[in-house]
Amino acid sequence: MADRIKLLILTHNYPRFVGDYAGIFVALQAKRLIDCGIEPVVLAPHDPGIPEYEVVDGVKVYRFRYADSDDDETLAYRGTMHQLVLSSVSGIFKFKRFLDSFRAAAFDIIRKEQIEVVAGNWLVPSGIVMKSIAAKTNLPMILSSHGTDIRLLSKYLIITRRFFGRFVRTLHRWTMVSSFLRDEILKLEPAVADLVEVLPLPHDETVFYRDPALVRDPNMILAVTRFTDQKRVDFLVNAFAMIADRQAEAHLHMYGAGPLQEKIEHLIRGLELHDRITIHPPVSQAELRTVYNRAGMVVLNSFQEGFGLALSEAMMCGAPVIGTNSGGIVDIIKNNQTGLLVELDNSAALADAMMQLLTDEALRIRLADAGHQYATDTYSSGPLAKRYAEIVKSALRK
Picking from 381, 31, 371, the residue whose alpha carbon sits closest to that of residue 204 is 381
Whole-angstrom distance, CA of residue 120 vs CA of residue 116 = 14
pLDDT at site 156: 63
Beta strand pairing call for 38-45 and 5-10 = parallel
Beta strand pairing call for 53-56 and 59-64 = antiparallel
Judge whether 73 and 48 are in contact, CB under 8 Å: yes
- Quick check: 91 pLDDT over 90? no
Q: How many C-beta atoms lie closer than 10 Å to residue 182's C-beta?
A: 23
Could you read off the pLDDT of 220-265 as tens digits, one per residue? 999 999 999 999 999 999 999 999 999 999 999 999 999 999 999 9
pLDDT at site 81: 78
Beta strand pairing call for 141-145 and 117-121 = parallel
Whole-angstrom distance, CA of residue 214 vs CA of residue 316 = 14
pLDDT at site 1: 46
Could you read off the pLDDT of 22-81 as tens digits, one per residue? 899 999 999 999 999 999 999 999 999 999 999 999 999 999 999 999 999 988 998 777
Whole-angstrom distance, CA of residue 154 vs CA of residue 306 = 13
pLDDT at site 189: 85
CA distances from 320 to 166, 204, 248, 249 (A): 44, 19, 20, 18
Q: Which residues contact 117 (CB under 8 A, 6 or more apart)?
A: 5, 6, 7, 8, 139, 140, 141, 142, 172, 392, 395, 396
User: Domains of the chain (ranges plus CATH)?
Assistant: 5-202+380-397 (3.40.50.2000), 217-379 (3.40.50.2000)
Beta strand pairing call for 5-10 and 117-121 = parallel
Beta strand pairing call for 59-64 and 173-176 = unpaired
